[in-house]
Amino acid sequence: MNRIIKEFPFLSSDLENLKRRMLLWANQSNILLFLDSNQYTHTEGRYECICAKGAVAQIIDDDNSLSQLKHQFESQQDWLFGSFNYDFKNKLEQLSSEHKAHFSFPDIHLFRPEIVCYIRRKEMTLVIESLSLPPDSVYAQILSATESEMLGSIEKINFEKRLKREEYLKIIQILKQHIVEGDCYEINFCNENYAETVNIHPTQIFNQLNSHSKAPFAAYYKVQDQYLMCASPERFMHKKGNKIIAQPIKGTSSRMADMVADEQQKLALLESIKERAENVMIVDLMRNDLARFCELDSIQVDELFGIYSFPNVHQMISTVSGQLRGDLSLIDALRLSFPMGSMTGAPKIMVMQLIERYEKARRELFSGTVGYISPEGDFDFNVVIRSLMYNSASQYLSFQTGGAITFDSNPEQEWEETRLKAAAIERIFQ
């Protein structure tokens, strides 16, 4: 079944208003994914924003999900949008997750959307691709979407920390001992912040998060009564043609109001021995992951220790790329690199076991990925960090923050880094 495609020009001054209306229109559906690059230009992405609404077919976690995914794409050669939970690792590596699950996002969930809308980079044209409704009708619905649910005050919410400060500091010391003993050399350790029995409007919260923490891989994801509101600065993996690009982040410093002090923060981040060590470890891990499905002589580090500025933090981002092997598919690339090394550490299997032992909350979709596969077989998936998850049925709201622990880590500084990352989310509710 072919899509009906039509383009609708608009004024550049209307861009943000149009994106908000796209989200509100799509939120009328039980299943949607809205991705916003917030006009960042350094990420090699194709779209300023892209939105998928409704599901004419779904691939939901079971033992044959990856084979379903490959068959669905090869037979339809159409759009697929969705997510991979961090817990998908359990099927890939025979691991387990024993902590309580508060959300019901499937370990794999991909859907073929009824309608796809997108704005390409540097183009003031909205493209609507529909399997059923006329694009003109869809466009009229988008323009008529009201912003009432995004208005009004937000309830004040105080988040509980799954690990209090003293317990967190003790665990960091234990993890450092694991490093001394040679069990691992870097581990990503996270702490959950949660609130129970809260009633929010997810689109309103996402709008606030996306306004205060504009990020190149922002996402709003809805599957029935489960919601993700994501302000991620990090790409997991991007495929364009046969080229695979990964952009791991390791290294964070806070922004300063004073321009001179802010530049000093950037320079300090760039010159930090600890942050550079963390970053290069993850770059090496990504090179090893790409070697599983890319031509070995094509793997290269396009950028090492790039410093990029976001509204609340500076980040150290590196770029690794390679050419996908001719005998492997895009599904193999996702399977052989998941979960992303920036959210585990190294070696992967051991640190995932340590994460399960010492963290006190299940990660679920946090540390996983959301994104899309295009009809041409390209894809773009983010890393789910700087994100709120909300279960509207149980009224449970949660986000997690963490960082990379190495031999040189200072527990107090690691705690402060988690609080810096948390502050950008918590201020929405204060």
Instruction: Label residue 205 exposed, middle or buried (CB < 10 Å: 0-12, 13-18, 19+).
Output: buried
Mean pLDDT of the chain: 95
Hunting for tokens 């540097």 — which residue is that? 122
Mean per-residue pLDDT, 188-216: 96
**Token pair for residue 73?**
């794409």
Distance of CA 81 to the CA centre of its chain: 13
Cβ contact 50:372 at 8 Å: yes
Question: Which of the 8 DSSP states describes residue 256?
Answer: -
Do the beta carbons of residue 85 and residue 107 sit within 8 Å?
yes
What is the model's pLDDT at position 331?
Answer: 92
How many angstroms separate the CA atoms of 205 and 149, rounded? Answer: 10
Q: Residue 337: which of 386, 286, 412, 379 has the closest Cα? A: 286
Q: Rounded distance, CA 143 to CA 114, Å?
A: 19
Higher pLDDT: 404 or 62? It is: 404
What is the predicted pLDDT for the residue at 74?
Answer: 84
pLDDT of residue 70: 84
pLDDT at 221 over 90: yes
Say whether pLDDT at 69 is over 90. Answer: no
User: Which range marks the domain in which residue 118 is found?
Assistant: 4-429
To 5 degrees, how large is the angle CA 127–CA 149–CA 7? Answer: 10
In total, how many domains does the chain have? 1
Burial of 220 (0-12, 13-18, 19+ CB in 10 A): buried
* Res. 374 pLDDT band, cuts 50 70 90: very high
Which two tokens mark 98? 């024993």
Question: Please, are residues 72 and 58 in contact by the beta-carbon 8 Å criterion?
Answer: no
Paired tokens of 196: 């129970």
**Which amino acid is residue 79, in one-letter code?**
W
Given a cut of 80, is residue 150 above it in pLDDT?
no
Tokens found for residue 203: 């689109």
Residue 257's CATH number: 3.60.120.10
Residues in the chain: 430
Residues 120 and 381: their CA atoms lie apart, in Å, by 17
Choose the weakest-confidence range: 36-40, 44-48, 191-195, 321-325.
44-48
pLDDT band at 42; cut points 50, 70, 90: confident
Residue 72 pLDDT level (bands cut at 50, 70, 90): confident
Between 193 and 68, the more confident residue is 193
If pLDDT is split at 50, 70 and 90, which confidence band does 413 have? very high
